[in-house]
Amino acid sequence: MASLIGQNLPTLVLLAAIGQLVLIVASLAIPRVLGWRAETAKLRPLTRQVFWTYAAYIWATNLSFGLVSLHPAWLLDGSPLAAGVTGFISAYWIGRVGIQFFYFDRSDAPSGPAVRLAEVGLVALFVYLAAVYSAATLFNLGRIGP
Amino acid sequence: MPSSITFFFHIAAAVHLGVASANLFAFRKFHYLEHLAGVPLIVRQVFLVQNAYLMAVQFGLALLCAFFAGELTSGRPMSVAITGFLAVFWGSRVVLQLGYYDPSLRQANRLFDVLFILADGYLTAVYAAAAIGGLRL
């Protein structure tokens, strides 16, 4: 099983790249769906500007993960840098899965089948990303082989 | 790439940790939580998660600079890609500071403003130097 994963890791990382690039395009709709513009208008200017700056930089971070993953050979070369980068990305997405289930209060989030479907898709993507980058980290550390 | 740039990466690691810890300080100084009390819980939670994640990214970048300076300046494609992206990332942060944040707020918090510009400018310069140097290797 570990060997099978190792053999297919380049393809899995490439799919992770595509997933993250789809995510950053789709996430452009989140402020509209959740009404962030109207909600943040209630904030003081500094807090509002910090909110949007944070959002932009999280978006850029996700973009960077997607772009670097378009080159699976870079992330799977067994170097310490590759292990460090994939380890960080895996921790990032594992944390995001945990936040989705244990922190976010979705009681006042929009409802309906489309939103529910989008949320399921989002969580499935986060789980996939966490799994693939964890496997890539283990591969770079020599714990699973091709 | 001269090995002396490793020194500048170690300084960059300290700068990343400084910027990350400034976020904690900013919470108290600017009363973010009080200002967020009037918005729905999910917006408040998103703000806090974004803040925590950006601190984690800063911490990760500090580790990168502290322990992988040699690899970041190796001229390998991934190193050039990472440092090039980070140069744009932090360069844009300088532009945001100068062009997006309210001038009156910047003036009222001039020390923070100058420190952020210097920190982000320094990170931009180090990452850009590594990326350009790597391209020449």
Of B51, B54, B105, the CB nearest to A45: B105
What are the tens digits of pLDDT across the range B46-85? 999 999 999 999 999 999 999 999 999 988 999 999 999 9
Q: Could you tell me which residues come within 8 angstroms of residue A110 by beta carbon, excluding any fewer than 6 positions away?
A: A33, A34
Q: Could you tell me which residues come within 8 angstroms of residue B12 by beta carbon, excluding any fewer than 6 positions away?
A: B65, B122, B123, B126, B127
pLDDT of amino acid A111: 76
**Residue B27 is encoded by which pair of tokens?**
């919470």
User: How far is B83 from A88, CA to CA, in rounded Å?
Assistant: 16
CA distance B68 to chain A (A): 6
> What is the average per-residue pLDDT within B15-35?
90
User: How far is B124 from B91, CA to CA, in rounded Å?
Assistant: 5
Q: Could you tell me which residues come within 8 angstroms of residue B92 by beta carbon, excluding any fewer than 6 positions away?
A: A60
Report CB contact under 8 Å: A55, B50. Answer: yes
What are the tens digits of pLDDT across the range A62-117? 999 999 999 999 999 999 999 999 999 999 999 999 998 888 887 767 778 888 88
pLDDT of amino acid B19: 93
Q: Which residues of chain A neighbour B77 with C-beta distances below 8 Å?
A: 71, 74
Of A36, A84, A92, the CB nearest to B64: A84
Residue B1 reports pLDDT greater than 50? no
Listed by start position, the domains of chain B span 5-136
CA distance B14 to chain A (A): 18
**Residue A47 is encoded by which pair of tokens?**
């807090």
What are the tens digits of pLDDT across the range A17-30? 999 999 999 999 98
Report CB contact under 8 Å: A105, B42. Answer: yes
The DSSP secondary-structure symbol of A104 reads -
pLDDT of amino acid B59: 95
Q: Could you tell me which residues come within 8 angstroms of residue B2 by beta carbon, excluding any fewer than 6 positions away?
A: none
3-class secondary structure per residue, B37-95: CCCCHHHHHHHHHHHHHHHHHHHHHHHHHHHCHHHHCCCCHHHHHHHHHHHHHHHHHHH
Nearest CA in chain A to B46: A104
Of A47, A71, A80, the CB nearest to B36: A47
What are the tens digits of pLDDT across the range A4-14? 777 899 999 99
pLDDT top residue among B1 and B46: B46
Lowest-pLDDT range of A37-41, A47-51, A103-107, B123-127: A103-107
User: How far is A76 from B44, CA to CA, in rounded Å?
Assistant: 38
> What is the average per-residue pLDDT within B19-39?
89
Cβ contacts from A onto B, under 8 A: 117
Nearest CA in chain A to B73: A81
Element (H, E) at A93: helix A80-102
Residue A1 reports pLDDT greater than 80? no
Number of helices followed by number of strands (H, E) in chain B: 7, 0
pLDDT of amino acid B3: 61
What are the tens digits of pLDDT across the range B113-124? 999 999 999 999
Of B56, B60, B100, the CB nearest to A49: B100
Are B72 and B10 a contacting pair, CB within 8 Å? no
For chain A, percent of residues with pLDDT exceeding 70? 97
> What is the average per-residue pLDDT within A50-72?
95
pLDDT of amino acid B99: 93
**Residue B106 is encoded by which pair of tokens?**
């910047």
pLDDT of amino acid A116: 85
A34 phi and psi angles, rounded to 5 deg: -95, 5
User: How far is B90 from B88, CA to CA, in rounded Å?
Assistant: 6
> Of the candidates A62, A57, A58, A36, which has an alpha carbon nearest to the alpha carbon of residue A48?
A36
Q: How many CB atoms lie within 10 A of CB B84?
A: 17
User: How far is B125 from A5, CA to CA, in rounded Å?
Assistant: 40
Give residue A143's pLDDT band: very low, low, confident or very high (50, 70, 90): confident
CA distance B136 to chain A (A): 19
> Helix, strand or coil for residue A112?
coil
Mean pLDDT of chain B: 91
